[in-house]
Amino acid sequence: MNLDLRIPMGLMFTLVGLILTVFGAATMGNPMYAKSLDINANLDWGIVLLLFGGTMFLLGRAGQKKAEREPQKPMPEGTVRRGH
């Protein structure tokens, strides 16, 4: 059974998003944000990544469950479908 790529990917981005969000919230109003034109880039982008990661994870899990319910017909190793 192949692992659905969206699950680890979703996990990774959720984690990165979480770190950025927490870090951004903790450093709100910090003068270092003058660099990014007074936008709290950590908080804002953290939330975006969190949403993206979460969506990917949920989609991946849904896909995985669906694949488990309908097991794929095994194809012989190295089968090449070709027209004539």
Partner 1 sequence: MLLYFVFVLGIGFALKRYMKTSKDFFQAGRALPAWICGLAFISANLGAQEVIGMGASGAKYGIATSHFYWIGAIPAMIFVGIFMMPFYYGSKARSVPEFLRMRFDEKTRALNACSFAVMTVFSSGISMYAMARLIQTLHVFDYIFISAGMPLGWIFHFSILLSAIIVLGYIFLGGLTSAIYNEVLQFFLIIAGFLPLVIIGLKNVGGISGLRASLPQAYMHSWQGMTHANTNPLGVEVFGLAMGLGFVLSFGYWCTDFLVIQTAMATDSEENARRVPLIAAIPKMFFPFLVILPGLLAIGAATPHVVTTTHTDASGAIIRETTVPTEVEAKGQGLVPAKTNPLTGKIVLDASGKPQLDYDLAIPSMLLHFFPTGILGLGLTALLASFMSGMAGNVTAFNTVWTYDLYQSYIKKGASDAHYLAMGRWATVGGILLSMMTAYVASGFNNIMDTLQLVFSFVNAPLFATFLLGMFWKRTTGNGAFIGLISGTVAAIAHHGLTLPLEAHPGIHGGWIAVLHHYPSDMAQNFWTAIWAFCINFGVTIVISLFGKPKPESELVGLVYSLTPKPDLGHVEWWKRPEALAVVLIVMVVGLNVIFR
Token duo for residue 62: 């849904």
Q: State the nearest-atom distance from the C-beta of 54 to partner 1, in Å.
A: 14
Using the rule CB under 8 A, is 41 a contact of partner 1? yes
Size (the chain), residues: 84
Using the rule CB under 8 A, is 50 a contact of partner 1? no
Using the rule CB under 8 A, is 23 a contact of partner 1? yes
In the numeric block, the tokens 């192949």 are attached to 2
User: Within 13 Å and on the Cβ side, how many CA atoms surround 54?
Assistant: 8
Instruction: Determine which helix (DSSP H) or strand (DSSP E) holds 74, and give its type and residue range.
Output: none
By CB under 8 A, name the binding residues for partner 1.
2-3, 5, 8-9, 12-13, 15-16, 19-20, 23-24, 27, 30, 32-33, 35-37, 39, 41-42, 44-45, 49, 52, 75, 77-84
